[in-house]
């Protein structure tokens, strides 16, 4: 459960306890377009998946990212 949050927090360079499922483009100033790419790339590498551009754009929050990974068969 917390592994994904830890990954995202690491990219955003913020404490993991400040990140939750709602953390995303609309709520976190740190989640810039560059950070978004880094988050997607880091997650792809960590879980061995490759997201489509549309999927990557849809991952606008930790919760959305988790949902997308689950639809791809990743247990997060």
Partner 1 sequence: MTPLAPRLAESLNGALHRLFAERPGLHLLGEDVADPYGGAFKVTKGLSDRHPGRVLSTPISENGLAGVAAGLALAGDEVVAEVMFGDFAALVFDPVLNLISKSVTMYGRRLPMPVVLRCPVGGRRGYGPTHSQSVQKHFIGMPNLALYELSPFHDPYGLLAHALDHGPALLFEDKVLYTRRAYPDGVVDEHFRHSLIGDASGWAHVTPVDGAAPDVVLICPGGVAHRALAAAHLLRDQGVTAHLLVPGRLYPVDIEPVLPVLEQPALVAVAEESTAGGTWGSDIAALVYERLWPRLRAPVLRLSSADSIIPAARHLEDRVLLGERHIAEAVAERLGTIATGAAFVAGPVESVYGPVDAAPPLAVPFVVPKLNNNDTHYLVTCWLAEDGARVEAGAPLVELETSKAVEEIEAPAAGYLRISADAGTEVEVGAVIAELHELAPPAHAAARSGAGGEAATTAGRGAGSAAPAQAAPPAEPSQPAQSSQPAPSSPADRRTYVLDRVQRGTAAVVTRAHKEVPAAFTAVEVGVDALLARLRLLSEESGAEVGVPEAVVKAVAAAHDRFGHLFGSLVDDRTVAVSETPHVAVTIDAGRGLYTPVIRDCASRSITDIADDLMDFRMKAWRGGDFTTSELDGGTITISINTEADVVFVQPIVMWPQLCMLSVGGLRRQLALHDGVLATTTVVVLGLAYDHRVVNGAEAVAFLRAVADNLREPDRLDQLVA
Residues forming contacts to partner 1 in the complex (CB under 8 A) are: 25-26, 29, 32-34, 36-38, 40-41, 44-45, 48-51, 53-54, 56-58, 60
Helices (H), the chain: 2-12, 33-47, 53-58, 62-71
CB of 48 to partner 1, least distance (A): 5
CB of 64 to partner 1, least distance (A): 8
Between 19 and 65, whose beta carbon lies closer to partner 1? 65
Between 17 and 34, whose beta carbon lies closer to partner 1? 34
The C-alpha atoms of residue 23 and residue 73 are separated, in whole angstroms, by 22
Query: Closest Cα to residue 49, out of 12, 2, 19, 4?
Result: 4
């Amino acid at each position: 459960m917390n592994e994904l949050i830890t990954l995202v927090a690491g990219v955003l360079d913020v404490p993991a306890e400040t990140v939750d499922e709602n953390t995303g483009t609309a709520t976190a100033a740190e989640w810039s377009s560059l950070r978004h790419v880094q988050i997607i790339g880091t997650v792809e590498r960590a879980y061995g998946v490759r997201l489509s551009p549309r999927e990557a754009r849809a991952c606008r929050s930790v919760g959305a990212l988790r949902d997308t990974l689950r639809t791809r068969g990743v247990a997060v």
